[in-house]
Amino acid sequence: MSGGNRTALITGVTGQDGSYLAELLLAKGYTVHGLLRRSSSFNTERIDHVYQGPQEPSRTLVLHHADLSDGVALVNLLRELRPDEVYNLGAQSHVRVSFDVPMYTGDVTGLGTLRLLEAIRASGIDTRIYQASSSEMFGATPPPQNEKTPFHPRSPYGCAKVYGYWSTVNYREAYGLYAVNGILFNHESPRRGETFVTRKITRAVARIRAGLQDRLYMGNLDAVRDWGYAPEYVEAMWRMLQQDEPGDYVVATGVAATVRDFLEAAFAAGGLDWTEYVRFDPKYERPSEVDALIGDASKAREVLGWKAETRWRELAELMVAADIETLDAELSGRRVRIDR
Ligand code: NDP
Ligand code: GDR
């Protein structure tokens, strides 16, 4: 199915997933509108390669200043754009940081979802909405986790995502909105934020090799995660909005690894032994940890025809290769490629 002359609005378009989703939708022929939050420095690095300036007459990616904390701005934007599809990817998305800024996280990640749903209802437009729900909602409930697994969040971020999840279900039930939750397990890429564990590791491998760093301080290495590849996961988001009926879906690889496993594989990919460089710092531990997340994505496979292809070891290798290439380019003054 192609985008034809369809339009989409993406909140969080400047983030990891937003950038891959924008690329996917543009390739399908959509006009993509992105919500841009005000920052004192440039925050569009991940989408600069697909951005077209405001003077471009036939541009298909348009950015609008707004914020998930500003409900009026959201109503105005929706009334003006009347998008066919809305993808709510905007969030304070860092679990550890959510313990430092719990109110802010609750406001943007939790209430922000409600503001967007209410803006759709208030503006009276006919649109479909995707909510970026998270495996963090399962928290302490043991794996494997699927759509029927009870939630037991372990952080302000997880609690906020549970609020967003149920608000999405409620607007579907109360107002007949085509609203879906994608319950995505961890997914990574060379565009992953530098303070999430995988990217922190792969970036350190590149810097240690280049002699720019000699230690890597880490928290809990025993945590088990189900890491997939972000470009594959945005395809699942899109498929969820193309079904006859709205529903909620787990998206995962079903393959588990510990943080230690990922460390070992990433350092080996860079020709290094991780035990020589990694040290523990309690600063990176969380007040309450999520010990193990392993997803069962059978429903996504059966209904959406979606399946993860890239596994964590391959992911570690491709992220290390990308970080080495990026650093080499930086050090030699060449332009750094982001379009991967
Ligand atoms: P990122 O942290 O890379 O991106 C988050 C995006 O949200 C950025 O564009 C950021 O803008 C934007 N944002 C932050 N605060 C606000 C605000 N107040 N108003 C509007 N936008 C805001 O996250 P990912 O791309 O990794 O994840 C996308 C979504 O999916 C998030 O909601 C995340 O919680 C969720 N998720 C992610 C998973 C993963 O493994 N990556 C797994 C499950 C769910 P800026 O660039 O200016 O900071
Ligand atoms: P997570 O991702 O909390 O699962 O949330 P993160 O990469 O931050 O942590 C994964 C696991 O690694 C352990 N860990 C460390 N984590 C970080 N960031 N830094 C460290 O130094 C470190 N040492 C050990 C953590 O304790 C944890 O167990 C991500 C985010 O993208 C969320 O937005 C998303 O919803 C979930 O994935 C699914």
At 158-184, the pLDDT tens digits run 999 999 999 999 999 999 999 999 999
Per-residue pLDDT averaged across 27-33, rounded? 97
Residue minimizing CA distance to atom 3 of ligand 2: 95
CA atoms within 13 A on the CB side of 217: 5
13, 74, 89: residue to mutate for ligand 1 pocket, most atoms within 8 A of CB? 89
The two structure tokens encoding residue 255: 């393959």
Is residue 314 pLDDT above 70, yes or no? yes
Ligand 2 pocket, residue 286 CB under 6 Å: yes
Strands 224-225 and 257-258: antiparallel
Separation of alpha carbons 223 and 237, rounded Å: 26
Per-residue pLDDT averaged across 111-136, rounded? 98
pLDDT at 214: 96
How large a percentage of the chain has pLDDT more than 90?
A: 94
**What DSSP designation does 229 have?**
E
Phi, psi of 134 (to 5 degrees): -140, 150
pLDDT at 340: 59
pTM of the model: 0.97
Name the CATH superfamily, with its identifier, for domain 7-188+228-254+294-310.
Answer: NAD(P)-binding Rossmann-like Domain (3.40.50.720)
Per-residue pLDDT averaged across 116-124, rounded? 97
Is residue 52 pLDDT above 90, yes or no? no
Burial of 154 (0-12, 13-18, 19+ CB in 10 A): buried
Q: Write out residues with Cβ below 6 Å of ligand 1.
A: 11-12, 14-18, 35, 37, 39, 43, 67-69, 89-93, 108, 132, 134, 184, 186-187, 193
User: Which residue has 């999520």 as its token pair?
Assistant: 290
Rounded to two decimals, the ipTM of the complex is 0.99
pLDDT classification of 56: cutoffs 50, 70, 90: confident
The two structure tokens encoding residue 112: 């922000």
Known catalytic residues are 134, 136, 157
